DNA sequence: ACCTGAACACCGTTCAAGT
DNA sequence: ACCTGAACACCGTTCAAGT
């Protein structure tokens, strides 16, 4: 593994361990065992290193979503599997989740990162479209419906990551909120997922 | 206006102008015309100053929601008015919105800030409960339903503030997404808001 | 009580120099 | 090509001293 990859790996671990503030270039360099300015041999600046972390994780999502697409699940269960992957990642790695889905600087990077991010979103959009064709989701504009589902789950994850889901009891979990959403928007009288039967 | 209030005012303006990174204690102090460490005479640290900004804005929300509660709107229109106030604030002041509704450090502060935040949430929850009684929202657990609506709108606002709502076209606006959500979850065959008639 | 100037440790970033 | 040590400007925070 080259120094660049090792720096990304170390930054990723520091994000998990101490949040974004813990990812100083000096700490990253020390974790890899190089001098404090060696990162500049591999990345333009701190933002570019964080973008490297985001790109790696987005590409992992693309792979996961490809696997789901090729699986034998029903259309609505593919939607659920994709959301579940997002939720598991978001709950296990809140700082990295925010880097990918909330950080304003990351959204402006472009290049490989943007390609991977768009591929992930397009794959999810395809799951929604297929579930609509199967009559398991309402026949609205696919882009609008995809955006709403995605935003709702993102909101639940972000409120959780931001510590806003503790005091107001009954707020329940991200998984429960997502499940409720899918039930509420399901077309009346249509088939539900296999889990509900 | 005392120095403490002027510091909060200046921090608020810097948040709007340049985001959280622009709010350095030195810049805040300079804006008010005091030395760079005077903020420590009024706040424990930088986090406490930001908490002061958040408290002020939460208290403004509490007032706005009180006004809505006392207005002559129908129950579902009170829900919509509250969400609209949240959306207008979020779109006009993204950095401050994130401070109030996303920042992990702010959630842990307690005291006056927590009181104001809980009052805001409780008022919104009351609007949802009243709309349920009126048959304009489904008869689920009020806390769960409140949480889901709140999370969905928060997700739309956060994706927008994070720059995630531009490329994937069809993502539409926060207002449209919110309006779609309320339509999708409305009880079948029940009355909609006055806007739809 | 409120404010100030100097100082400390830390950080991102740059640069000349080494292999 | 890759790495290093020194340096710069900036930041949060502390402290002794002033009114």
Asked if B19's CB is within 8 angstroms of A177's CB, the reply is no
As a whole number, mean pLDDT of residues B166-189 equals 81
Compute the distance between CA of residue B77 and CA of residue B90 in angstroms, rounded to an integer: 20
- CA dist B24 and B26 (Å) reads 5
pLDDT in tens, B109-148: 888 898 889 899 999 999 999 999 999 999 999 999 999 9
Number of neighbouring beta carbons within 10 Å of residue B197: 6
Determine the distance in angstroms separating the CA of A112 from the nearest CA of chain B, rounded to an integer.
15
Whether the pLDDT of residue A179 is over 80: the answer is yes
From the CB of residue B84, how many other CB atoms can be counted at a distance below 10 Å? 15
From CA A41, how far away is CA A39, in angstroms rounded? Answer: 5
- pLDDT bucket at B187, cuts 50 / 70 / 90: confident
Q: Write out pLDDT tens, residues A49-58.
A: 999 999 999 9
State the CB neighbour count (10 A cutoff) for residue A166.
Answer: 11
B26 CA vs D17 C1’ separation (Å): 21
Chain B: give the shortest CA distance to residue A54, in Å. 14
Asked if the Cβ–Cβ distance from A165 to B147 is below 8 Å, we say yes
Give the model confidence (pLDDT) of A59-89 as tens digits: 999 999 999 999 999 999 999 999 999 999 9
The reply to whether B38 Cβ lies less than 7 angstroms from strand D is: no
- Which residues of chain A have a CB within 8 Å of the CB of B102? 102, 158, 162, 164
**For A118, which of B146, B167, B188 is closest by C-beta distance?**
B167
């Amino acid at each position: 593994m080259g120094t660049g990859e090792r720096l990304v790996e170390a930054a990723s671990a520091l994000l998990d361990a101490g949040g974004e503030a813990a990812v100083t270039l000096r700490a990253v360099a020390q974790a890899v065992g190089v001098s404090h300015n060696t990162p500049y041999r591999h990345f333009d600046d701190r933002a570019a290193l964080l973008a490297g972390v985001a790109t790696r994780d987005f590409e992992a999502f693309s792979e996961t979503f490809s696997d789901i697409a090729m699986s034998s699940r029903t259309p609505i269960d593919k939607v659920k599997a994709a959301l579940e992957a997002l939720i598991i990642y978001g709950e296990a790695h809140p700082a990295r989740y925010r880097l990918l889905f909330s950080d304003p600087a990351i959204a402006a990077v472009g290049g490989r990162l943007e390609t991977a991010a768009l591929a992930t979103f397009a794959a999810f959009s395809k799951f929604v479209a297929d579930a609509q064709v199967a009559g398991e989701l309402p026949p609205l504009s696919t882009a609008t419906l995809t955006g709403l589902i995605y935003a709702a789950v993102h909101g639940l994850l972000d409120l959780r990551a931001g510590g806003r889901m503790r005091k107001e009891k009954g707020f329940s979990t991200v998984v429960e909120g997502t499940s409720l959403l899918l039930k509420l928007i399901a077309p009346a009288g249509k088939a539900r997922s296999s889990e509900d039967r």
